[in-house]
Structure 1
Amino acid sequence: MSLDHLPRRDNDSEFKHGSVFHHNSVFTASLNDDAVDEVIVHRGQEVWTDRDGSLSFCGVVELTELQFFLERTLSEAGRHLDRLTPMVDARLRDGSRLCAVIPPIAVDGIELSIRRHRQQHREIASFADPPVIQLIHRLVDERHNIIVSGPTSSGKTTFLSAVLTNALADGDRIVAIEDTCELQPQQNEGAGHIVHLEARQQSTDGSGEVTLQDLLVTALRLRPDRIVVGEVRGAEVITLVHAMNTGHDGSMSTCHANSPVDAIHRLSQLVLQHSPNWPEKSIIDQLHRSIDAIVQVEKTPQGNRVVTDIVQPTINGLTSIVSSGEVNGSLQSRDQRYA
């Protein structure tokens, strides 16, 4: 299924969000609803919305409208969909994130998800009670290497943006590397630098790909005080670990995991996948020596994003300093943890 044959429209006054041209359609209304967190199209026609974690069916969208939206929006983003490239991730003009899959990969019809970009900025203080927040401030101020872990939509990116806002206020130069640019720390004039680097998919002829690993190597040459990887999911984990362990203190990343223990396991499996000759015990030891703290964030049944746990890797395993949102230990330096 190629979208290249679809007609183009030149009157941008008809487009409020990307390429939507049916002003009164359920699809357009959902995209323009500020209360919606995510718009989903299922099986090429069903429109669903996510509001605070709750999915609701809204109606159906015409296939021609959906195809036109994808063709126009992806063209603006420099991406494309066709039989040879049936899956795509893209950042829209307003910062929203789009993921689309078309037949034959999507067997029952086009599958589309658009995660709305929120300009809401949260303070670190909103994620936990004051004693926990004091620990988080120490983690940042003392330049500990931090992994933020959590399930999907738990607030990892929002929390990391809040942390980076504090780091920028201290005058740090931060190089942030992401598949799709989502980190949005607040920056005051005269404060530190935030350099955003975004990966790029290969073109139709197989050229032009820029991976997170490529960007991470470049970031090391841009005089960073801190290196931030939006989410570790591939070979870049090895370079990030080396960076954390060779003078780039205060680096940060996120990891999709249901607990700090799961985060270490996931990171070790990523390293093993890309360095199969590296003994797993050595991988775990290297991760423990490179990562100073794992901060777990969760979404509560009420829809709030909060810090639930903070652990520190030590020579004896993982040591808890925050559990279920309550401080139950003291923060240790790297030397103390490996004395």
Structure 2
Amino acid sequence: MIDWHEVFEQVPRSLFAPPVFWADLGPGPWARIDRDADSALWAEVVARDQPLVIQFEDGHAEGTGLATSSLSMPTVVAEFLSRLDPLPHDRVLEIGTGSGWTAALLSSRPGVKVTSVEVDPDMAAQAAKRLKGAGFHPRLIVGDGAEGWPPGAPYDRVHATCAVTSIPNAWIEQTRPGGVIVAPYSPGFGCGTIVRLDVLPDGAAIGRFCGSADYMLLRSHRPAGGRPRAWVDAGRKAAGSATRLDPRLIRSAPVSVDLVIATLVPGVVSRFYEDIEQTGEATLWVLDARGPGGAWASVDYVPGHETYRVEQAGDRALWEEVEDAYAQWLKWGRPDITRFGMTVTPQAHTIWLDDPSNIV
């Protein structure tokens, strides 16, 4: 097994950090870190075990909006690469070149041949310069990572640095039997997970979830954007009710709850807003992933209340679906994420508990 933390010393993250990035330095918005303005702070933050955002809104904004590319936390990168565990001389397909750091880490392994696909031409060009400057020469492709890159197939390993709502069939088709796919899996509700899949000779893939991983989504897998108010304002008449279930329990629960809810309540995304400093109030939103105009639900937590107000609209009682899914997780005995697995075929993604025959 490779000690990736030792590899990090040979291929330091600082070689792939741009002159300007954004980092979480405490309460408030992400801080803009500029090497020219404060080189000592730049170096100190790069060395921290935290993500560094290097792009917002697909390059159309600086420091605001949706974060769309980052240098991930080194401990999380090590976790993914340990699950991938490439052998000498393996062919590796990487989805999402980003800064180029993980392409360099993989290329540093003996004989490993890396093909890295990046959808953003400007990001790809910057990564190519950094990789060349660091002495690494993976094959770099500009394109949609969901399609893989057939000319380089078959691959022994597929490594995604961006989350997906489903595993693209192209990745499985381009991986040889016995090959491994490791990706952040984010089907909709809550946080994402790490999944490691083994590719079978019949064109399917099967494996288990390994932990949590809240990664940025592959561009072609992003749900409809917008704040919850857009769903409310879309004209659906809301019905009010009450619940005794504290919505914060779902927010703070293990990532296995998010997976169960995403599986049993498909086609939704969630948002959570909390005012810890002043009122202590919080709201959990469940929204149709297709965008405003679809079903939605909100649950408002107020300290000291015995019940919490529910509002929902549309053709689904989304809060009741979420409550039922959470109750099912409790009935199963609060299973950890590592007890869940997934089987992927061209027709379906099937989530199971403990054994592939025990379908969720």
State the structure with bigger RCO (CA 8 A, min sep 6), 1 or 2.
1
Alignment TM-score, normalising by the size of structure 1: 0.32
Alignment TM-score, normalising by the size of structure 2: 0.30
Name the structure with the higher strand share: 2
